[in-house]
């Protein structure tokens, strides 16, 4: 640890205290998380979830673990340093964030989640404190509770901060999945618009009550599994009408409200995946620039297509003066204008409808939410909250891919190169090859886990399927021939 000089403490979580420090050799500013628990062997350390999961993930929107140090049985994680977390930004904010700001952050976070979920991990403790921001870049941190999707249920240990905890976890389901992260995102997005938590329960039963009063009591149509879970706990849901989310989140657009309502679906199976969320109309103005295209773009003399320009500017380098290695993809919304820094000024403190302990607006009190006060017990005497109206989910496919194909056409790096897609669940997708502008129709049997994919036709007999969130390696390939009469891709093979 003598290679680092500690500057000051920047955070104190359940498992560790986090310090801003400087690497004396490289001058790099880092964040050092000093774990509270003692570790008496290396084996214990490298088996930690935080280490195992972070080692497997490399994404521009996941905070980078630089090194792990064990000294005198104390464990230190050295991370890239981020300026602040989303909760701090909200706390110091006088007025709600603009929709463009919210969209830009969420777009990045969903990309990171898609990456993580596809690699078989879910976070389980998403909350504003774990979303770290430097300028307009946001990264997911704190993988202490991350879980491998393939690991065997039951997941019985305590999970996630109450206000962002999915109902299936509140109802003590022993098997749940990445949908818990999507629930948390719904609550976080709403909070970014209002600067108040959407479901600020003061204990687990109150948490469930808060949820019911916003999204309405579940029934057999909306969550039959939940009714069974509740029955097994002898818990009775409070009877509440669904709240009109437009009233609750007045500064949010129809698209934003639709996405929040989709994310906060009772039934985990009906929540969007991160890839689904990225295709929601809320993200229409956003696009993903894969690493390969970003590299080439730096050689352009000509102006790239509109909308993509900002994402390729070299200014991204200035945005990460502390040694972030941003060789990877960059995520942008083309209507992003506001520098998150502007929100550092002090302003209205958010009001939490919480018990006095949690009313303390600081980390310690928010972290106290983690303590499992008031486990769910049967509770029948809720006063009904009656609201009117419902919201309708309107997911649509974005045209991100078209912009990408435009870019690759103009780049002239390889004019037989590819291609794009508009691909939605079970829908017909068009694959456009740049060699002659041929449209290859992809039939309905697109693999279901491929719905957010992009196609990459090489012009020599194969179209490659990429996941839109990860262009590093193709996931599928499909043979095609120019002479194929209907120009249909008829089969798909794993690469």
Residues annotated within a binding site: 34
Active-site pick, 12, 27, 125, 470: 125
What minimum distance in Å lies between the beta carbon of 326 and ligand ATP?
15
Q: Could you say which of 1, 14, 334, 413 contacts ligand ATP (CB under 6 A)?
A: 14
Q: State the minimum distance, in angstroms, from the CB of residue 348 to ligand ATP.
A: 20
Q: Which is nearer to ligand ATP, 129 or 467 (CB)?
A: 129
Annotated catalytic residue 125: yes
- Note whether 82 binds ligand ATP by CB under 6 A: yes
Q: Is residue 129 a contact residue for ligand ATP (CB under 6 A)?
A: yes
- Which CB, 84 or 478, lies closer to ligand ATP? 84
* Tally of CA atoms within 13 A in the half-sphere of 194 that contains its CB: 22
Using CB under 6 A as the binding rule, the residues of this chain from 142 to 171 that contact ligand ATP are: 142, 144
Q: What are phi and psi of 235, to 5 degrees?
A: -105, 135
- Residues in 46-65 at the binding interface with ligand ATP, rule: CB under 6 A: 63
Which one among 4, 76, 79, 466 touches ligand ATP, defined by CB under 6 A? 79
Distance CA 393, CA 277 (A): 11
Residues 315-354 binding ligand ATP (CB under 6 A) are none
Tokens standing for residue 246: 């437009």
* Pairing between β-strand 330-333 and β-strand 429-432 as defined by DSSP bridges: unpaired
Choosing from 13, 60, 167, 290, the residue that interacts with ligand ATP (CB under 6 A) is 13
Considering only CA atoms, which of 373, 363, 374, 368 is closest in space to residue 128? 363
Of 53, 61, 85, 297, which lies in the binding site for ligand ATP, with binding defined by CB under 6 A? 85
Three state DSSP letters for the chain = CCCEEEEEEEEECCCEEEEEEEECCCCCEEEEEEEEEECCCHHHHHCCHHHHHHHHCCCCCECCEEEEEEECCEEEEEEECCCEEHHHHHHCCCCCCCHHHHHHHHHHHHHHHHHHHHCCEECCCCCHHHEEEECCEEEECCCCCCEECCCCCCCCCCCCCHHHCCHHHHCCCCCCCCHHHHHHHHHHHHHHHHCCCCCCCCCHHHHHHHHHHHHCCCCHHHHHHHHHHHHHHCCCCCCCCECCHHHHCCCCCHHHHHHHHHHCCCCHHHCCCHHHHHCCHHHCCEEEECHHHHHHHCCCCCCCCCCCHHHHCCHHHHCCCCCCCCCCCEEEECCCCCCHHHHHCCCCCCCCCCCHHHHCCCHHHHHHCCCCCCCCCCCCCCCCCCCCCCCCCCCCCCCHHHHHHHHHHHHCCCCCCCCECCCCCCCCEEEECCCCCCEEEECCCCCHHHCCEEEEECCCCEEEEEECCECCCCCEEEECCCCCCCCECCCCEEC
Only one of the segments 6-14, 184-192, 297-305, 310-318 lies at the binding site for ligand ATP (rule: CB under 6 A); that segment is 6-14
**Angstrom distance (rounded) from CA 180 to CA 234:** 23
11 touching ligand ATP, by CB under 6 A = yes
Binding status of residue 137 toward ligand ATP by CB under 6 A: no
Kindly indicate which of the ranges 126-134, 350-358, 439-447, 475-483 contains the residues binding ligand ATP, using the contact rule CB under 6 A: 126-134
What are 137's strand-pairing partners? 134
Q: Least separation, in Å, of the C-beta of 15 and ligand ATP? A: 4
Does 18 engage in binding with ligand ATP (CB under 6 A)?
A: yes
Size of the site for ligand ATP (CB under 6 A): 22
Residue ranges at the known binding site for ATP: 34
Write each residue from 348 to 377 as x if it is in contact with ligand ATP (CB under 6 A), else as -, in one continuous string.
-------------------x----------
Pick one of 90, 132, 245, 475: the residue that binds ligand ATP (CB under 6 A).
132
Check residue 181 for interaction with ligand ATP (CB under 6 A): no
Site string for ligand ATP, 408-437 (x = CB under 6 A): ------------------------------
Among 23, 53, 118, 130, binds ligand ATP (CB under 6 A): 130
Only segment of 125-133, 256-264, 276-284, 318-326 that touches ligand ATP (CB under 6 A): 125-133
Identify which range of 21-29, 74-82, 324-332, 416-424 contacts ligand ATP by CB under 6 A.
Answer: 74-82
Q: Which of 4, 10, 118, 198 binds ligand ATP (CB under 6 A)?
A: 10
**Binding region for ligand ATP (CB under 6 A) out of 7-15, 261-269, 391-399, 440-448:** 7-15
Length of the chain: 495
Does residue number 28 form part of the binding site for ligand ATP (CB under 6 A)?
A: no
Interatomic CA distance for residues 88 and 124, integer angstroms:
21
CB-hemisphere CA count at 13 Å for 261?
25
128 binds ligand ATP (CB under 6 A): no
Q: Does 31 bind ligand ATP (CB under 6 A)?
A: yes
CB of 163 to ligand ATP, least distance (A): 12
Shortest Å distance, C-beta 66 to ligand ATP: 10
Note the residues at the interface with ligand ATP (CB under 6 A): 10-11, 13-16, 18, 31, 33, 63, 79-82, 85, 129-130, 132, 141-142, 144, 367
- Which residues are catalytic, by number? 125
């Amino acid at each position: 640890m003598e290679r680092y000089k500690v500057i000051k403490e920047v955070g104190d979580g359940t498992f560790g205290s986090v310090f801003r420090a400087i690497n004396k050799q490289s001058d790099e500013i880092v964040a050092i998380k000093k774990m509270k628990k003692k570790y008496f062997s290396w084996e214990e350390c490298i088996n930690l979830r935080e280490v195992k999961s972070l080692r497997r993930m490399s994404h521009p929107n996941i905070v980078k673990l630089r090194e792990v140090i064990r000294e005198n049985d104390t464990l230190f994680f050295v991370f890239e340093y981020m300026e602040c977390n989303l909760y701090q930004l909200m706390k110091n904010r006088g007025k709600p964030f603009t929709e463009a700001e919210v969209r830009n952050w969420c777009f990045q976070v969903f990309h990171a989640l898609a990456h993580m979920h596809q690699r078989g991990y879910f976070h389980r403790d998403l909350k504003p404190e774990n979303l770290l921001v430097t300028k307009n870049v946001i990264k997911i941190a704190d993988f202490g509770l991350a879980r491998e999707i393939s690991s065997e249920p039951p997941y019985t240990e305590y999970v996630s901060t109450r206000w962002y905890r999915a109902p299936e976890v509140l109802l003590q389901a022993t098997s749940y999945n990445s949908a818990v992260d999507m629930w948390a995102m719904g609550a976080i997005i709403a909070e970014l618009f209002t600067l108040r938590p959407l479901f600020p329960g003061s204990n687990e039963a109150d948490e469930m009550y808060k949820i019911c009063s916003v999204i309405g009591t579940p029934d057999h149509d909306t969550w039959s599994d939940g009714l069974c879970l509740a029955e097994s706990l002898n818990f009775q849901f409070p009877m509440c009408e669904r709240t009109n989310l437009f009233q609750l989140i007045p500064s949010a657009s129809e698209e934003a409200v639709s996405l929040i309502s989709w994310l906060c679906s009772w039934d985990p199976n009906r929540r969007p995946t991160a890839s689904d969320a990225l295709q929601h109309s809320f993200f229409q103005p956003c696009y993903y620039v894969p690493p390969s295209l970003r590299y080439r773009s730096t050689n352009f003399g000509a102006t790239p297509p509109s909308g993509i320009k900002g994402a390729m500017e070299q200014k991204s380098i200035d945005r990460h003066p502390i040694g972030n290695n941003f060789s990877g993809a960059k995520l942008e919304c083309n209507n992003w204008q506001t520098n998150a820094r502007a929100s550092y000024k002090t302003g209205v403190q958010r009001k939490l409808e919480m018990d006095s302990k949690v009313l303390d607006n600081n980390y310690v009190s928010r972290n106290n939410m983690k303590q499992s006060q008031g486990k769910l017990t049967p509770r029948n005497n809720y006063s009904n909250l009656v609201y009117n109206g419902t919201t309708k989910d309107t997911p649509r496919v974005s045209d991100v891919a078209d912009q990408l194909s435009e870019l690759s056409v103009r780049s002239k790096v390889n004019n037989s190169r590819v291609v794009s897609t508009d691909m939605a669940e079970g829908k017909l997708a068009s694959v456009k090859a740049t060699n002659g502008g041929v449209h290859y129709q992809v039939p309905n049997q697109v693999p279901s886990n491929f719905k957010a994919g992009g196609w990459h036709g090489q012009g020599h007999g194969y179209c490659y399927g990429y996941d839109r969130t990860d262009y590093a390696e193709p996931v599928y390939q499909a043979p095609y021939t120019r002479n194929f009469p209907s120009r249909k891709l008829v089969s798909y093979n794993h690469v």
